[in-house]
Amino acid sequence: MTRADDVPAAALPERMGNEALALRGSLPAALVFAAGALVLAAPTLAFVARESWSTEQGAHGPIVLATGLWLLLRLLPQALTVAVQPPAWRVMALFALVLPAYLLSRIAQVVELEGYFMYAALLVGIYGLVGTAAMRRLWFPLFYLVFMFPPPETVVYTLTLPMKMGVSTAAIAILHAFGYPIAGQGVMIYVGQYELLVAAACSGLNSIISLSAISLFYIYIRHEAEWRYAAFLVLLIVPVSLIANLIRVLILILLTYHAGDAAAQGFLHNFAGLLMFAVALLTIFALDALCKPIWNWVFAKRLAGKPVSTGVFS
């Protein structure tokens, strides 16, 4: 779509009139899409809320939904300037692929598949309304909203076992170095007279998913135009999350050893998880505040053609 500056003044009223007619013509399609989206999304989101959002693993889902919709509405006017509806046959072909899969997953009551196929159907509807170019403008909120659904169980099972083993090994090594009577076998940890099982919730995968969702939103809002620096911050999410989760496991082991199993499995168990998630998120914010001036200084030197000193003094 051409800019208003490139259009002769005499042609502006005609062009604006044509665009108004086009928008008016797409209004019925938008209303049909809104009604269809409500019919598809309402039961599936209610199912996801019961099965996932009410648990520790999916507690970030409502936050992702609210912030994702806000960002989508914020970027929508800009995306509509390049909106071009695709051929109807292409949209129908995509619906023919997605809707049967959604209906099957709905019947099977598999929360992950139902959520993903419902969202895929909504994406096809959005594509039918605004086309590819407009969806490119909306790429981040459309990608970000995927985090409101739980990951597939096959992915969870594949990733959690090595992560649980890694957390167990690291925690045992650290506490053994401080003289604690601790040993382990697989995902079992023996400390004093207690036996602890590193469950899937303690593997760190849930922390990575939740922290990734919230941190990606923060990084996009703060550094949308600086994709290199944004990518650098994204790379920090996983190590920060893993370290925070390791500290959580260490806290729970120490609570069990010093205060007993009842204390570690009660309120303090959940509180430790919330506390370390907050610490991990604040760590991302702090790393951003620390690294941004250094990043700007390095790139300013490169743009000026000066060598970047790696010593303490420049």
Q: Report strand pairing: 182-185 vs 194-197.
A: unpaired
Place of tokens 């045992």: 172
DSSP 8-state assignment for residue 109 = T
Average pLDDT, the chain: 83
Question: 45-49, 57-61, 89-93, 174-178: which range is least confident on average?
Answer: 57-61
Predicted local distance difference test score (pLDDT) of residue 265: 75
> 2: phi > 0 → left, psi -120 to 50 → alpha, else beta; which?
beta
CA nearest neighbour of 164 among 175, 156, 174: 156
Higher pLDDT, 187 or 179: 179
Mean pLDDT, residues 238-249: 89
Higher pLDDT, 104 or 273: 104
pTM: 0.80
Percent of the chain with pLDDT over 70: 85
Q: Helix or strand or coil: residue 65? A: helix
Higher pLDDT, 68 or 158: 68
**Catalytic site residues?**
202, 248
192, 259 Cβ separation under 8 angstroms: no
- Judged against a pLDDT cut of 90, whether residue 277 lies above it is answered with no
pLDDT tens string 189-222? 888 888 888 775 566 777 888 899 999 999 999 8
pLDDT tens string 130-179? 999 999 999 999 999 999 998 888 887 788 878 888 888 899 999 999 98
DSSP string over 207-254? HHHHHHHHHHHHHHHHHTT-HHHHHHHHHHHHHHHHHHHHHHHHHHHH
Predicted local distance difference test score (pLDDT) of residue 111: 87
Which runs of consecutive H residues, i.e. helices, occur in the chain? 12-48, 61-80, 88-108, 111-137, 139-144, 153-177, 205-223, 227-259, 261-265, 267-303
